[in-house]
A and B are shown apart, each in its own frame.
Chain A
Amino acid sequence: MTAAVVATGLVKEFEKGRHTVWQRLRGQPDQRTRFRAVDGIDLRVETGEIFGLLGPNGAGKTTTMKMLSTLLEPTSGTIEVLGIDVARRPREVRARLGAMLSGERSLYWKLTARENLEYFAALYHVPPKGMKERIEKALTAVKLSDRADDYVERYSTGMRQRLALARALLPDPPLVILDEPTVGLDPQSARDLRDRVRDLRAQGRTVLLTTHYMEEADQLCDRVAIIDHGKIVALDSPAALKRTIRAEEIVRLDIGLEGDGAALLERLARVGTVARQERTNGTLAVTVHCRSARELVPAAFDAAQASGATVRHVEVVPVTLEDVFLSLTGRALRE
């Protein structure tokens, strides 16, 4: 079976800085530098799966999506979408691709949902015969049928996101790509949208999405690529990625102390792996990976007492993709 997306050696460089007309007229040297937003990504998304690109803001997720959807030209590398070369036959790719890249801003707020979809259906070359049914189907899929004739300006952010998803479904695409589909949504709306994404998989479509919410990637995706500084640092199913952390449990501690805490950290390292430490205003926040919190927590209290420090907060949590990211990059996803 043909993979839905195959990207090989994908690189995108942008220029950083400015070289203004005034600088050019004065003969000043061009001091712009080039930076790599995407740095050699190899990707294969299988047909029928929900594939997630997980990473912090600025990791290169959106740039990758824009290259896959023909909006950006890669500096180097090749992309095939549904077996079609994106560089050579972009129009054919666009005809088979449902994309939701800039969410609620990509809609006409002074039109109703139905008018928006009528317009985009024509742009997607949906045949006139059956266009109404296609629009109704898309509205039903995102549960907006009852508000289809309201102006979009009267919608909530979540409803606009759902309408943007409905638009992406108009060409009846085998592949749907969604860039941060739940960003800015309240928990209920986000849950609702995730359900719609699961429906897409149930209909046999392939979904490629980006997110910086680890829970979203964990709950929704069959496979996840963790991306940082334009590179894929890990790629597997969420469960397999979490198994790479050699720990059963994660303990987060907030410890109040005066000194540098080196001795305390050394003692903690004897009973677990100190994955992260951050000092703010006399508090040392530590994340420790361990086999058993029952063993680590008393040891942490003993270590604190021995160092003249106080344990202020203890939290025991299961391993998440956040911990995987942390162990791979040394940073939290939200940093």
Chain B
Amino acid sequence: MTLAAADLRAFVAAVRKELRTVRRYPTLWLGLVFWPVLLPASYVLMGQAYSGSDPKAIAAFAERSGTVEVAGFVFVGFAMYMWLSTILWGPGTALRTEQMRGTLEAMFLTPTSRLVALFGPPAAALPTLGLTFVVMGAAMWILFGVALPLGGVLRTMVVIAFALPALYAIGTLFAAGVLRFGEIGPIVQLVRGIFVLACGITFPVLMLPGWAQAVAAVLPPTYIVQDIRAMLLRGLGLGDVAGDLAITVGLTGVFAALAIVIFHALERSARRSGMLGRY
């Protein structure tokens, strides 16, 4: 068995271990049904309370967002928010959980690649996340009459495939912080807030001041959220967003290089300071 094959087996084992653990807390699954529906629905209802179905308001919204589907815009934004949260903070959360539990050192005593510890446990969240998307899609259709086209959903998968490396690279930066500093929750919250504001999660990026739009332009989630909305709500094809995908790939290279250098530096620093075993 080659080293890569052995690490792949370890990766699968990490995913299975995580799924087994989650399965033993069945009440967690209830959260999958309620919050993904209630939160965005409350924003849509709030919007309707402000402007009703006034054509002028809808036209103003369409001018800024490119779609007349207010409910679709908000639900897709929230779905992206949940997805980004899971992917971006997944590696850091995985390491922090192991650190708090006391199992991180045991993992680091094995010859397996660090990639297993970083990306195995978050990968286990992907099926759950998929289920959340199904629930949100069903809620959007049943409550607000917005049905997502199958073609758009399939094209979205392609955008997601392009987006994953960039998001995991950013997630690795946070995970490196966990190794060196332990608790980085407040920093994560701060960056999460910046991403929500800057990347057009709940409102169009055009609503931001010029300098904030410039910041948004170097954050991969901006392009990802924008392109997924374009696939699902505006019926655009992959060719229409090819430029955005190219930028995403470029940013992936930058963030991945940063992640590799910083993770190695902070892991070494943790080995010097003894932070691996402390929390």
**Which A residues have a C-beta under 8 Å from some C-beta of B?**
14-15, 63, 66, 69-73, 75, 91-92, 94-95, 97, 99, 101-102, 105-108, 110-111, 115, 118-125, 127-128, 167
Contacts and interface: CB of A to CB of B under 8 A. Distances in A.
B182 to A, nearest CB: 14
Nearest to B109: A99
Nearest to B106: A106
Contacts of B16: 119
A101 B105 contact: yes
A124 B111 CA distance: 6
18 contacts: A15-B273, A66-B274, A69-B109, A71-B271, A73-B268, A92-B111, A101-B109, A102-B277, A106-B106, A107-B103, A107-B106, A108-B21, A111-B21, A119-B16, A119-B17, A122-B112, A123-B112, A125-B112
The 5 closest A-B pairs by CB, nearest first: A105-B102, A122-B13, A106-B106, A123-B110, A125-B6
Contacts of B101: 105, 108
Contacts of B56: none
Contacts of A106: 102-103, 105-106
Nearest to A75: B272
Given A71-B109, A123-B13, 19 more contacts: A66-B277, A72-B276, A73-B271, A95-B111, A101-B105, A101-B109, A106-B106, A107-B103, A107-B106, A108-B103, A119-B16, A119-B17, A121-B13, A122-B112, A123-B111, A123-B116, A124-B111, A124-B112, A127-B1
Nearest to A73: B271
B106 A120 contact: yes
Contacts of B234: none
A111 B106 contact: no
Nearest to B269: A73
Contacts of A107: 103, 106
B34 interface: no
A66 B271 CA distance: 10
Nearest to A67: B271
Main secondary structure, interface of B, reads helix
A123 B271 contact: no
Interface string B108-124: 11111000100000000
B123 to A, nearest CB: 14
Interface of B: 1, 3, 6-7, 9-10, 12-14, 16-17, 20-21, 24-25, 101-103, 105-112, 116, 268, 271-274, 276-277
B92 to A, nearest CB: 19
A92 B273 CA distance: 23
A82 to B, nearest CB: 13
A101 B102 CA distance: 10
B6 to A, nearest CB: 4
Nearest to A99: B109
Contacts of A72: 271-272, 274, 276
A70 B109 contact: yes
Contact of B13 (A15, A119, A167): A119
Nearest to B117: A123
A128 B109 contact: no
A102 B105 contact: yes
Contacts of A120: 106, 110
Contacts of B111: 91-92, 94-95, 123-125
B106 A167 contact: yes
A108 B19 CA distance: 13
B21 A94 contact: no
A262 B14 CA distance: 66
A317 B102 CA distance: 40
B105 A108 contact: no
Given A66-B274, A72-B274, A108-B103, A115 B17 contact: yes
B10 A122 contact: yes
A123 B107 CA distance: 7
B113 to A, nearest CB: 9
A199 B111 CA distance: 25
A70 B9 CA distance: 23
Given A71-B276, A115-B20, A97 B103 contact: no
B273 A125 contact: no
A61 to B, nearest CB: 14
Nearest to A128: B9
A111 B22 CA distance: 10
B18 to A, nearest CB: 10
B150 to A, nearest CB: 37
Residue of A72, A97, A111, A128 with most chain B CB atoms under a 10 A cut-off: A72
Contacts of B102: 102, 105-106
Contact of B110 (A66, A73, A94, A127): A94
A14 B272 CA distance: 8
A66 B278 CA distance: 13
Nearest to A101: B105
A124 B268 CA distance: 21
A71 B108 contact: yes
Contacts of B25: 110
